[in-house]
């Protein structure tokens, strides 16, 4: 039994390492996932790496590109709209339900994550600010008492992490970091008021704003690439 489990465990470890590199931006959208290079980096044979890449493809984090092999999934305007439309459907309702049921202690936890997120924004630490933002939202959504809803939302966060990095970095580079924290500040206040409608409205506005900001950034990048080509 242990011999059968060992390859799976190794694949899990390789998957986790590559997944973390995608989530923190070390492997950005479009980066090639060269099997032999990755195997050498993690100190294993190529088989667990191939299996890990297959899992990443199933999770929507990697894709096959002709003449390039496996790459970290690229960013497209169409997918951005689709993913954020689904996020809006789920997270507006999760915020509504969570705010109606959340405890005072959990509101304090949200405030603590907001404070850490603001510090990360001020220091320009993109991955940290996204991590604290997701932690803040998780506390609120967990109060909705629907674990399937929360897990589905977390899967979507993984799927669109590259888009979130682009949006956050773009706001920091422009000097206008207000969209990165003002919605969360209002969300904490709505949770403290136990106002499901206010929380839902804040999330609706926040996700629409994020969609528009990232869409504009991607359009600019694509135009620049076309001009360069």
List phi, psi (to 5°) of 145: 65, 35
Paired tokens of 11: 């694949």
For residue 150, what are the CA distances in angstroms to 91, 191, 192? 9, 17, 20
Helix (H) or strand (E) holding 85: helix 77-101
How many other C-beta atoms can be found within 10 angstroms of the C-beta atom of residue 1?
5
- CATH code for the structural domain at 2-72: 1.10.10.10
- CATH code for the structural domain at 77-228: 1.20.120.530
List phi, psi (to 5°) of 90: -80, -45
Which pLDDT value is given to residue 221? 73
What's the whole-model pTM score? 0.81
Residue range 94-112, pLDDT digits in tens: 999 999 999 999 999 999 9
Residue range 153-207, pLDDT digits in tens: 999 998 888 899 989 999 999 888 899 999 999 999 999 999 999 999 999 999 9
Residue boundaries of the structural domains of the chain: 2-72, 77-228
How many other C-beta atoms can be found within 10 angstroms of the C-beta atom of residue 32?
14
The rounded distance, in Å, linking the Cα atoms of 140 and 160 is 20
- Phi-psi sector, 74: left (phi>0), alpha (psi -120 to 50), beta: beta
């Amino acid at each position: 039994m242990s011999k059968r489990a060992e390859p799976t465990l190794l694949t899990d470890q390789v998957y986790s390492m590559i997944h973390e590199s995608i989530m923190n931006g070390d492997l950005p959208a479009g980066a090639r996932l060269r099997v032999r290079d990755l195997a050498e980096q993690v100190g294993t044979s190529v088989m667990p790496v191939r299996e890990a890449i297959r899992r990443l493809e199933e999770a929507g984090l990697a894709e096959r590109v002709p003449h390039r092999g496996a790459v970290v999934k690229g960013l497209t305007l169409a997918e951005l709209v689709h993913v954020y439309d689904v996020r809006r459907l789920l997270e507006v309702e999760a915020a509504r339900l969570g705010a109606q049921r959340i405890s005072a202690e959990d509101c304090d936890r949200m405030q603590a994550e907001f404070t850490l997120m603001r510090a990360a924004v001020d220091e320009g630490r993109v991955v940290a600010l996204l991590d604290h933002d997701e932690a803040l939202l998780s506390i609120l959504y967990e109060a909705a008492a629907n674990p399937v809803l929360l897990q589905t939302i977390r899967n979507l966060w993984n799927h669109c992490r590259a888009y979130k990095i682009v949006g956050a970095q773009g706001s920091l580079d422009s000097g206008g970091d207000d969209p990165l924290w003002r919605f969360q500040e209002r969300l904490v206040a709505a949770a403290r008021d136990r106002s499901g409608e206010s929380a839902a409205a804040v999330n609706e506005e926040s996700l629409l704003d994020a969609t528009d900001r990232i869409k504009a950034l991607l359009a600019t990048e694509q135009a620049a690439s076309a001009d360069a080509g």
